Amino acid sequence: MATIIACFKWVVDEAYIRRGSSGELDFSAVDYKISDYDRNAIEEAVRLKDAVGGSVIALTVGVPEATKGVKDALSRGTDQCYFIADPSFQGSGTRQTAKILADVIRNRVGPFRPDPLREGSSDLYAQQVGPRLAENLGIPAFPSYRKSAWTGIR
């Protein structure tokens, strides 16, 4: 049976960003959400599970305050969620995030058949974690315009 991995990022919900009195962006009342692209990836992973069987593991890296992301990912039909949390992850770059994700996949999830499909996250849209993750795992990376996040199948 296939195990499908859907990585996601917990990001600022842009609907809550306001403009301050002097024109600067005010983030004081923002809420957070799973990136829109990553919500699509989780949905696609669950659909794939329904079609071929197996299970879906959601995986994220973040600060301890982002635990609502785990509940959100589980409520979308994933079977498990790995949340690697540390206060030092605040503002971490794509290189560090990809390394942590790769370590978790290697040490907790195990072998899998790769299907890298990451487009970007809805906050920075740097499009770097997916290719860097693939590099760390020694698997091919290629862009996909039909799906919107990195998934792996073992």
Entry pTM: 0.76
**Distance (Å, whole) CA 154 – CA 151:** 10
Confidence class of residue 152 from pLDDT cuts 50, 70 and 90? low
Triad 109, 58, 47: Cα angle to 5°: 110
Half-sphere exposure of residue 97: CA atoms within 13 angstroms, side-chain side = 24
Question: Over the stretch 91-145, which tens digit does the pLDDT of each residue have?
Answer: 777 888 888 888 888 888 866 655 544 555 555 555 667 777 877 787 766 655 4
Number of helices (H), then strands (E), belonging to the chain: the values are 4, 9
pLDDT in the model for residue 45 = 87
pLDDT at 127: 63
**Phi and psi (nearest 5°) for 152?**
-135, 145
Confidence class for position 3, pLDDT limits 50, 70, 90: confident
Higher pLDDT among residues 2 and 39, named by residue: 39
- Looking at every residue in the chain, the average pLDDT score rounds to 79
